[in-house]
Amino acid sequence: MRAVRYGGYGGGAAALKHVEVPVPSTKKDKILLKLEAASINPVDCKIQKGNLWPFMPLKFPFIPVCDVAGEVIEVGSAVKNFKPGDKVVSMLLFMKGGGLAEYAVATPQLTVHRPPEVSPTEGAALPIAASTALQALKSSGAKFDGSGKPFNVLITAASGGVGHFAVQLAKLANLHVTATCGARNIDTLKSLGADEVLDYRSPDGARLHSPSGRKYDAVIHCTTGIGWSVFEPNLSENSKVVVVTIGPMVFLKSAMKMLICAKKRVVPLVAIPKEEELRFLVGLLKEGKLKVVVDSKHLLSNAEDAWAKCMEGHATGKIVVEM
C-alpha cells in the first residue's frame, strides 16, 4: 500500500486528500514507474474544476497530473525498449492521470529515456508545457532543422510554463521574439533570449506594440482576454495567431477567418503529445540549449500548496512536486 493524493470535482487545493492505494499492477504493454517528480499544469486544475466534463475524469478516485519523471521498476512482457532501473520522462495518459503519487503506470509510447544531465525536476517540467510550445511554434511556421527563414513572433504570457519554453524554442528556430509578461519577470525573459519584452500592464504592453515597431508574422497566444482588435493592427499581412488557450469563441473566430479567406488567421492548437518531440526536448535540455525555470518545488506531502499556486495563475515557469 502506498500514499497518494487525489482531487475531485469542484474543490480547491483543500480538496486534495491523502489516501492509501495499492501500487498499480503492470499490464503487458505498460511500465511501472517509481516517481521522482511531477509538474502541475493549468489543465490539471481545469479537470478538477469540472471544465472538461463530460470527457473526464472517467472514474473516481482520480489522481491528477500527467507530467512525470521517475525510474522504471517493472516492465510488461511486451515492452522491449525499457528495463528496470532506467530513468525516464513520461506523460501519463491524459484521461487517467496518476502523477501525484509515489508510483504510476506509464505507456512506453509516451515515455523517453532521461540522461543523467537532466534532473527529475527538469524532466517532469517538460511534457505538456514544452510540447505545446514546440507544436505551437511549428504550427506558426517555425523550423527546427535550420531550414526556416527568420520571422517576428509575439509570445503572450511568456513567463508561464508554456511561454518560457516558447521563447527559448523560438530563439532556437532563429526567430525575433517579442514577449509579454508582468514587470517582475522582464529580466528573466531577457535572460531566456527574448529580444523585446513588454509589461502587459503598461499602455504599450496592453496594445502589444513592439518597441522596435515590428509587425508580428506569428503570435503564440498563451493567455486570455486580448481581443482581435488589439492583435490586428500589430500583425503583418499573412500572420497566424496560434491560440493555446482554446474555447468555443476561438474555434468560431478561426472558422470565420477561413470562411472569408482572411490572410491573417487564427489557429486553435490542442497539443497532442508525441514521443519523438519529447525525445527532442529532453535532448535540448541535455545539451543545455533549453532551460527550465522552476517557479517552486513542493513535497508530495504538501501537494496542495503546489496545487494552490497553479490555481492562482501567477507561476513563473513550472510548479514541481518532488516525491
Which listed residue (26, 41, 48, 121) binds ligand NAP by CB under 6 A? 41
The DSSP 8-state label assigned to residue 30 in this structure reads -
Judged by CB under 6 A, does residue 48 bind ligand NAP?
no
Q: Are 140 and 154 in contact (CB under 8 A)?
A: no
Is residue 207 involved in binding ligand NAP (CB under 6 A)? Answer: no
- CA proximity to 130, closest of 102, 99, 170, 176: 170
Q: Among 189, 218, 315, 320, indicate the residue that binds ligand NAP (CB under 6 A).
A: 315
In angstroms, the CA 172 to CA 180 distance is 19
| Candidate residues 210, 245, 254, 296; the one interacting with ligand NAP per rule CB under 6 A | 245
50 makes contact with ligand NAP (CB under 6 A): no
- Of the listed pieces 39-47, 86-94, 139-147, 281-289, which binds ligand NAP according to CB under 6 A? 39-47
Q: Does 270 bind ligand NAP (CB under 6 A)?
A: yes
Figure out which of the listed residues 39, 90, 119, 159 binds ligand NAP, where binding follows CB under 6 A: 159
In 3D, which of 248, 313, 323 has the Cα closest to residue 43? 313
Q: Where are the beta strands (DSSP E) in 156-290?
A: 176-181, 196-199, 216-221, 235-243, 265-268
Q: Measuring CA to CA, which residue among 1, 19, 112, 30 is closest to residue 67? A: 112
E strand intervals along 80-194: 87-91, 103-106, 111-113, 152-155, 176-181
Give 3 or 230: the residue with its C-beta nearer to ligand NAP: 230
CB of 1 to ligand NAP, least distance (A): 33
Q: Does 179 help bind ligand NAP (rule: CB under 6 A)?
A: no
Closer CB to ligand NAP, 194 or 222, in the complex: 222
The minimum distance between CB 196 and ligand NAP, in angstroms, equals 14
Indicate whether 208 belongs to the interface with ligand NAP (CB under 6 A): no
Contacts of ligand NAP in 91-150 (CB under 6 A): 128-129, 132
Cα 117 to the center of its chain, rounded Å = 21
Give the residue, chosen from 156, 168, 188, 239, that forms a contact with ligand NAP under the rule CB under 6 A.
Answer: 156
Helix (H, G, I), strand (E, B) or coil at 173: coil
Interface region with ligand NAP, contact rule CB under 6 A, candidates 18-26, 41-49, 228-236, 255-263: 41-49
| CA nearest neighbour of 52 among 40, 61, 64 | 64
Q: Does 31 contact ligand NAP by CB under 6 A?
A: no
List 101, 162, 194, 266, residue binding ligand NAP (CB under 6 A):
162
CB-based contact 152:307 (threshold 8 Å) = no
**Binding segment for ligand NAP among 5-13, 55-63, 95-103, 264-272 (CB under 6 A)?**
264-272
Torsion, Cα of 13, 247, 282, 165 (10° steps): -90
Minimal distance in Å, beta carbon 270 to ligand NAP? 5
**Total binding residues for ligand NAP by CB under 6 A?**
30
Which contacts qualify for 144-148: CB closer than 8 Å, 24 or more apart?
Answer: 144/169, 144/172, 144/173, 144/280, 148/173, 148/174
Q: Strand pairing of 318-322 and 216-221?
A: unpaired
Q: Is the dihedral of CA 29, 35, 39, 43 positive or negative?
A: positive
Considering the rule CB under 6 A, would residue 222 count as an interface residue with ligand NAP?
A: yes
Q: Which positions touch ligand NAP (CB under 6 A)?
A: 41-43, 128-129, 132, 156-157, 159-163, 180-182, 200, 222-223, 225, 244-246, 269-271, 313-316
